[in-house]
Amino acid sequence: MEQEYGLFIDGKWTAPPGANRFRTINPATREPVGSFVAGTTGDVDRAIGAAAKAFPAWKETPAPKRGEILLEAARVMKQRKAELGRLVTREMGKVIGEGLGDVQESIDFIEYMSGEGRRLFGETVPSELRSKFCLTVLQPKGVVACITPWNFPTAIPNWKIAAALITGNTVVFKPASNTAACGAEVVKVYEAAGVPPGVLNLVTGSGAVVGNAMVVDPRVRAVSFTGGTDAGRDVYVRGAQGLKMVHLELGGKNPVLLMEDADLPLALEGVLFGAFGTSGQRCTATSRLIVHEKVHESFLKMLTDRLDRFSVGDPLDPKTGMGPVASADQEKKILGYIEIGRKEATLRYGGAKLTGGAYDQGFFLQPTIFETKHGTRISKEEIFGPVLSVIRVGSYEEAVRVANDVEYGLSSSIYTKDVNRAFRAIRELEAGITYVNAPTIGAEVQLPFGGVKNTGNGGREAGSAAIGEFTEIKTVFVDFSAKLQKAQIDSESAA
């Protein structure tokens, strides 16, 4: 059944009369999920106005009190976990265990951030002068824009919204258009938790209209964006005109390095989950398996044998291994890369759209494996689907060279029993995240998350790093000497 949503501005759900609408569909069945207002620049203007109006009071609300509201949001989310997990699966297509995991990650992060309301630590620092006290305090930036993709349709919005709110900012939020119901339901959770009017506002619609209007508005002091590298670069450039802080979490081409001494059965389960979990549409998905020649053939055989017992189908069925990809656009793009792969590499598994019966209703692809040399397009470009490029190497050194020779640097992994080599990999892999003897996926909310090179611009989400994303540091000097003291000139060290 299709549910109709409006915009959420200044604490009210509104649907401007005569507004254009768009809908989301279930990628497994093409059944409608939700209908949404295609927001205009006028809608964004009203949402930013409401956020700007709400800012002074929210900023002055004691942070522990803001934390209590967040804790209540986590409680509401927990109460609604089963229903929201199902919605994630219905709107985005990830299997139900992962749909529930998406919501659990939201709960974990909101709870974690609620505790930050009693921390938000500054520093005390000694002065070079007598009777002078120096400290720093964290202050909110103001109105911030949160723009999110569809692949973690509740978790990524919450990573941004909870961190922005606990630090005292007010928010304008634009979710990805094909998971707009998940985005709207996240907002309803905060509404039910008692977030005051104007503190969190939702405008649905396109990136070109709604997203862009948020990025260029001078009242928006920071933009937190997760999405593709091209869109992120565009957002960065536009945000730079207003000299605003733009936080980017972008694409990946994440490698698993499989060494000749690895525990192969352990690696098998890790590679399977890393490459085909969420139909390969996690930003941290394993898209390259860089494997030592001594175990190359035997591991490929284990992997393809295991895939024969891997089920693709109804994502709401708990026994299903992989659901559909998220949309017709995703399917087209991935099939395009599979065609490229057929020309430049050797297909070892899958490589086709699944058809017949229930498959005909949705966007179902086979898990696909190519054997390729490093340097082909499929080995270097982000595909964002269930397509794994397997690259044979002769040594650890070659594996690291290949792993690092891509434009991205989000996640990485090494399977080895050699502790020295594991520590070398931690040092040498150019990535924001390195796993040892675990797949490239599996972030935990209390640790920083982000990437290097074209995966971002240096910031980190989650963990305590999330606080830095949404705060300004105010440096404070308190001189209680009752006389003018001049730093550098009157300092005793200058004598």
Binding site for ligand NAD (CB under 6 A): 147-151, 174, 176-177, 206-208, 211-212, 215, 226-228, 231, 234-235, 249-252, 283, 382, 384, 410, 451, 455
Nearer to ligand NAD (CB atom), residue 207 or residue 386: 207
Q: At closest approach, how far in Å is the CB of 211 from ligand NAD? A: 2
Query: From start to end of 321-384, where are the E strands?
Result: 346-349, 368-371
Nearer to ligand NAD (CB atom), residue 27 or residue 252: 252
Q: Per DSSP, what are the bridge partners of residue 203?
A: none
Reported as half-sphere exposure (CB side, CA atoms, 13 A), residue 146 has a value of: 31
**The 3-state secondary structure of 161-208, one letter per residue:** HHHHHHCCCEEEEECCHHHHHHHHHHHHHHHHHCCCCCCEEECCCCHH
Which helix (H) or strand (E) segment is 426 a member of? helix 419-428
d(CA 202, CA 207): 13
Nearer to ligand NAD (CB atom), residue 2 or residue 230: 230
Query: From start to end of 281-419, where are the E strands?
Result: 286-292, 346-349, 368-371, 387-393, 408-409, 411-415
Nearer to ligand NAD (CB atom), residue 138 or residue 462: 462
Nearer to ligand NAD (CB atom), residue 50 or residue 145: 145
Catalytic residue numbers read 249, 283
What number of other Cβ atoms are within 10 A of residue 347's Cβ? Answer: 15
Q: At closest approach, how far in Å is the CB of 151 from ligand NAD? A: 5
Nearer to ligand NAD (CB atom), residue 259 or residue 283: 283
Buried b (16+ CB within 10 A) or exposed e, 418-435: eeebbebbeebbbbbbbb
DSSP conformation class of 211? I
Q: At closest approach, how far in Å is the CB of 201 from ligand NAD? A: 15
In sequence order, the 6+-apart residues with CB closer than 8 A to the CB of 413 are 254, 255, 256, 257, 270, 274, 286, 434, 435, 436, 438, 439, 440
Q: At closest approach, how far in Å is the CB of 90 from ligand NAD? A: 18
Task: With beta carbons less than 8 A apart as the criterion, state whether 337 and 381 touch.
Answer: yes
Q: Tell me the residue type at 278.
A: T
Task: With beta carbons less than 8 A apart as the criterion, state whether 412 and 254 touch.
Answer: yes
Q: At closest approach, how far in Å is the CB of 125 from ligand NAD? A: 33
Q: At closest approach, how far in Å is the CB of 384 from ligand NAD? A: 5
Nearer to ligand NAD (CB atom), residue 259 or residue 443: 443
Q: At closest approach, how far in Å is the CB of 22 from ligand NAD? A: 11
Q: Which two tokens stand for residue 185?
A: 């339901």
d(CA 257, CA 392): 10
Burial of 107 (0-12, 13-18, 19+ CB in 10 A): buried
Task: With beta carbons less than 8 A apart as the criterion, state whether 395 and 416 touch.
Answer: no
Nearer to ligand NAD (CB atom), residue 168 or residue 252: 252
d(CA 275, CA 481): 64
Torsion on CA atoms 53, 56, 62, 67, rounded to nearest 10 = 40
Task: With beta carbons less than 8 A apart as the criterion, state whether 59 and 472 touch.
Answer: no
Q: At closest approach, how far in Å is the CB of 231 from ligand NAD? A: 3
d(CA 169, CA 19): 29
